[in-house]
Amino acid sequence: MNRIYLFLISILQFHCVFLFDGLDTKKDNDSQIFLALLWNQPEGYNWNLPPGFPTPVVPSVNPMSEAKVELGRFLFYDRSLSRDQSMSCSSCHIQEFAFADGKDFPSGITGEVHPRNSQHLSNVAYHTRLTWNNPLMTNLEIQARVPMFGATPVELGLQNNDFVNRLNANPIYPPMFQRAFGDPSANEQNVRFALASFQRSMISGNSKFDQYNFRNNRSALTESEIRGMRIFNSEDGECFHCHGGFNFTDTAFHGNSGSQEFFYHSNGIHSDTYYLPLSNDKKGLFDVTGNASDIGKFRAPSLRNIGVTYPYMHDGSFMCDDANNPSKPAGIGKTKKDCARDALTKVINHYRLGGQSHSPKDTNLIKILPINDSQRDDMVNFLLSLTDEEFLTNPKFASPF
Ligand code: HEC
Ligand code: HEC
């Protein structure tokens, strides 16, 4: 297990300001986020938290408000945020997939393929580190720069402030910016701040598991799902070590936790070989730190809504296939649930075999799991019980356009 201590990270954060600085003029404002390192409990905002959920902490420079969340929703779905106005954040983060996109790898406005799979955004407010493998991504305010301005790969492809002019010229925005920031004009930083507030509002906690576990509805889970949950939380299963807690990940921070916890692990998916070498952007934490011991390490994803976030892993390598017609593109003709069941069966088989003998891996936790096929199916059923249908259709998170 790899733990990086906070003092190290605060040094790294300065690099981040330069590494991901899309627009130089905003450097000072963003430094405030890092220098402050103060995270505040927001006041005057109603999170509407599900039972069992702690209050998220937000950077003191960007407190939550209804007005910012609402503005952020418009911006998240607005194609003005891409250079050629063809894509928005929602092109790769789609509500019905819990804000993942159902593909192995997404492409940006130039067609360039992203080296990693789109992540879901359920409960993103609680992650201490964002993205699959970048410990420099400490908050949503700074992360938004990557899809907006990033060039490796190009996502929304912005190169200047033209998008701000487009927003200011649209009559719906000045009153919304006024309400959110006390100033009717958009600017690059306020756009990112509003996007961050909207994403923090994406709380998901009404799955069948939540009803069983936090709402005391003992009939919400079937016998099979309960058996699967027991294996998940057992010392044989080991799953809970990396995917534990209310958000099913070990990288979390909130009002009840003392410190910002974050870890990176290798679960044996990584398959770099002499004959089939991987590029650095597929090598996990190594891509950022350059340490050989970090090859193949990724953040353990939150398993919330896992039933709709296939294909799985940073490389989308576990996807459903059409067993009757292998020439068809994966998943065509199947329901979402069948697709997820297919892909999750492959995931559990991977763990069952002790990580397919790929190395490197966390050998103390990724090891042969002695279960039979019916117990494997119980685990798949448990994972499918983590889907929160309400979240996938809640109009609060839907496109306003
Ligand atoms: C071209 C597709 C694409 C677009 C457009 C896109 N994203 Fe993403 N998003 C991704 C991918 C791929 C990842 C994983 C990134 C990585 O590991 O480096 C990701 C990761 C994230 C994460 C991290 C989630 C986590 O669990 O850590 C957040 C937050 C996010 N995106 C927000 C946004 C916002 C906000 C926008 C619009 C400004 C946006 N994305 C636009 C593909 C996209
Ligand atoms: C040592 C830590 C660790 C353990 C133990 C572990 N996982 Fe994982 N899990 C990870 C990491 C890291 C990833 C992402 C790997 C990647 O993308 O290459 C992952 C990915 C997944 C995914 C895909 C998530 C997604 O969004 O793509 C599922 C499902 C999953 N694990 C389920 C389980 C189950 C079930 C168990 C127990 C049998 C388990 N994990 C045990 C670390 C772990």
pLDDT digits (tens, 9 = 90+) for 139-184: 999 999 999 999 999 999 999 999 999 999 999 999 999 999 999 9
Type of residue numbered 194: A
CA of 300 to the centre of ligand 1 (A): 16
**377 or 271, which is more confident?**
377
Residue 268 inside a domain? The answer is yes
The reply to whether 223 and 326 lie within a common domain is yes
Separation CA 49–CA 205 (nearest Å): 8
Domain stop point among 184, 204, 224: 204
Specify the range with the lowest mean pLDDT, choosing from 122-126, 235-239, 363-367, 389-393.
363-367
In this prediction the pTM is: 0.91
**pLDDT at residue 34, rounded to an integer:** 46
**327 or 81, which is more confident?**
81
The reply to whether 219 and 195 lie within a common domain is no
Separation CA 172–CA 159 (nearest Å): 24
**pLDDT at residue 229, rounded to an integer:** 98
Each residue's pLDDT tens digit, 16-64: 333 333 333 333 344 444 434 455 555 679 999 999 999 999 999 999 9
CA of 137 to the centre of ligand 2 (A): 20
The reply to whether 153 and 247 lie within a common domain is no
**Ligand 1 site, residue 366, Cβ cutoff 6 A:** no
| Rounded alpha-carbon distances, angstroms, from residue 3 to 105, 251, 298, 302 | 28, 11, 12, 18
Identify which ligand lies nearest to the alpha carbon of 249: 2
Query: Token digits for 220?
Result: 């919400």
**pLDDT at residue 332, rounded to an integer:** 67
Residue 270 inside a domain? The answer is yes
**326 or 78, which is more confident?**
78
**pLDDT at residue 259, rounded to an integer:** 73
Residue range 216-220: mean pLDDT, rounded: 96
Q: Is residue 255 predicted with pLDDT exceeding 90?
A: no
Q: Is residue 314 predicted with pLDDT exceeding 70?
A: yes
The reply to whether 249 and 377 lie within a common domain is yes
Q: Is residue 290 predicted with pLDDT exceeding 90?
A: yes
**pLDDT at residue 5, rounded to an integer:** 36
Number of domains within the chain: 2
**Ligand 1 site, residue 148, Cβ cutoff 6 A:** yes
The reply to whether 124 and 221 lie within a common domain is no
Residue 397 inside a domain? The answer is no
**Ligand 1 site, residue 119, Cβ cutoff 6 A:** yes
**pLDDT at residue 22, rounded to an integer:** 34
Q: Is residue 6 predicted with pLDDT exceeding 50?
A: no
The reply to whether 194 and 232 lie within a common domain is no
Describe the crossing of helices 373-384 and 336-352 by its angle, rounded to 10 degrees: 130
The reply to whether 317 and 197 lie within a common domain is no
Q: Which residues have any ligand 2 atom within 6 Å of their CB?
A: 232, 237-239, 241-243, 265, 267, 269, 298, 300-301, 303, 306, 309, 312-314, 347-348, 351, 362, 365-366, 369, 379
CA of 237 to the centre of ligand 2 (A): 11
The reply to whether 40 and 153 lie within a common domain is yes
Residue 400 inside a domain? The answer is no
The reply to whether 34 and 56 lie within a common domain is yes
Query: In whole numbers, what is the pLDDT of the chain averaged over residues?
Result: 87
CA of 282 to the centre of ligand 1 (A): 16
**Ligand 1 site, residue 284, Cβ cutoff 6 A:** no
For ligand 1, atom 40: residue with the closest CA:
89
Domain stop point among 181, 204, 227: 204
Long-range contacts of 395-399 (CB under 8 A, 24+ apart): 396/73, 396/201, 397/73, 397/95, 397/201, 397/202, 398/95, 399/77, 399/90
Residue 215 inside a domain? The answer is yes
Separation CA 353–CA 372 (nearest Å): 12
**353 or 4, which is more confident?**
353
Specify the range with the lowest mean pLDDT, choosing from 21-30, 229-238, 375-384.
21-30
For ligand 2, atom 15: residue with the closest CA:
313
**Ligand 1 site, residue 90, Cβ cutoff 6 A:** no
**272 or 154, which is more confident?**
154
- Test site for ligand 2: of 119, 209, 241, 243, most ligand atoms within 8 A of the Cβ: 243
CB atoms inside a 10 Å sphere around CB 229: 24
CB atoms inside a 10 Å sphere around CB 86: 12
Per-residue confidence at 360, pLDDT binned at 50, 70, 90?
confident
For ligand 1, atom 29: residue with the closest CA:
140
Describe the crossing of helices 373-384 and 223-232 by its angle, rounded to 10 degrees: 100
**254 or 398, which is more confident?**
398
Residue 51 inside a domain? The answer is yes
The half-sphere exposure of 301 on its side-chain side, counting CA atoms within 13 A, is: 21
**pLDDT at residue 274, rounded to an integer:** 78
Specify the range with the lowest mean pLDDT, choosing from 75-79, 298-302, 325-329, 363-367.
325-329
For ligand 1, atom 9: residue with the closest CA:
118
Per-residue confidence at 334, pLDDT binned at 50, 70, 90?
confident
Identify which ligand lies nearest to the alpha carbon of 81: 1
Three-class HEC string of 270-327: CCCCCCCCCCHHHCECHHHHCCHHHCCEECCCCCCCHHHCCCECCCCCECCCCCCCCC
Residue 398 inside a domain? The answer is no
Q: Range of 93's domain?
A: 2-204
**pLDDT at residue 11, rounded to an integer:** 34
Question: Can you give the CATH number for the domain in which 379 is found?
Answer: 1.10.760.10
List the beta bridge partners of residue 58: 40
The reply to whether 96 and 224 lie within a common domain is no
CA of 109 to the centre of ligand 1 (A): 14
Residue range 247-264: mean pLDDT, rounded: 83
Query: Token digits for 258?
Result: 């003392």
CB atoms inside a 10 Å sphere around CB 325: 10
**pLDDT at residue 85, rounded to an integer:** 98
**pLDDT at residue 1, rounded to an integer:** 35
Domain stop point among 176, 204, 232: 204
Residue range 236-262: mean pLDDT, rounded: 86
The reply to whether 172 and 190 lie within a common domain is yes
Residue 401 inside a domain? The answer is no
To which H or E segment does residue 336 belong? helix 336-352
The reply to whether 215 and 200 lie within a common domain is no
For ligand 1, atom 16: residue with the closest CA:
131
CA of 300 to the centre of ligand 2 (A): 6
